[in-house]
Amino acid sequence: MDPTRKPSQLYRSKWACFHCRTAFVRYIRVEQSDQIRCLTCHTKATDMGYLFEPPRRSDYKQWRLMQLLAQHQLRYHRSGMIPKIRYLITENDKASYTEVQRNLMALYDDDQQLKKKEKREH
């Protein structure tokens, strides 16, 4: 769930099913966002953000990477996320799965450092 949204706010987003590698758009209320299921297989779907561009269904590698992003709470909710993910994490789709994992870890470390720094300055 996107923590910046207010309860009961209606929003649209794109949900991904990592089981059948599909995505669909739904309008929902914030509190429903953990209950959305795939229209085809009824597996719990993941909110990937409205700007999410689903990979081709046959592109297993990309889908695995998208799942990895989701596990790290990265979503395509804002246009700024697209270049961030492309340049810092997937390296223009050239990075391997292991490299993406490494980039995610590095990014996470940076965030932790930044939070610590912000705390010290307040």
Binding site for Zn ion (CB under 5 A): 17, 19-20, 38, 40-41, 43
Shortest CB 23 distance to Zn ion, Å:
10
> Over the Cα atoms of the chain, what is R_g?
15
Alpha-carbon distance of 50 to 10, in angstroms, equals: 13
Shortest CB 70 distance to Zn ion, Å:
14
Shortest CB 41 distance to Zn ion, Å:
3
Give me the residue label for tokens 């996107």.
Answer: 2
Q: Which of 39, 64, 119, 95 is nearest to 107 (CA)?
A: 95
Alpha-carbon distance of 103 to 110, in angstroms, equals: 10
Measuring CA to CA, how many Å separate 121 from each of 26, 108, 110, 112?
41, 20, 16, 14
Shortest CB 45 distance to Zn ion, Å:
7
| Nearest CB to Zn ion, comparing residues 9 and 43 | 43
| Nearest CB to Zn ion, comparing residues 47 and 89 | 47
| Nearest CB to Zn ion, comparing residues 41 and 106 | 41
| Nearest CB to Zn ion, comparing residues 38 and 69 | 38
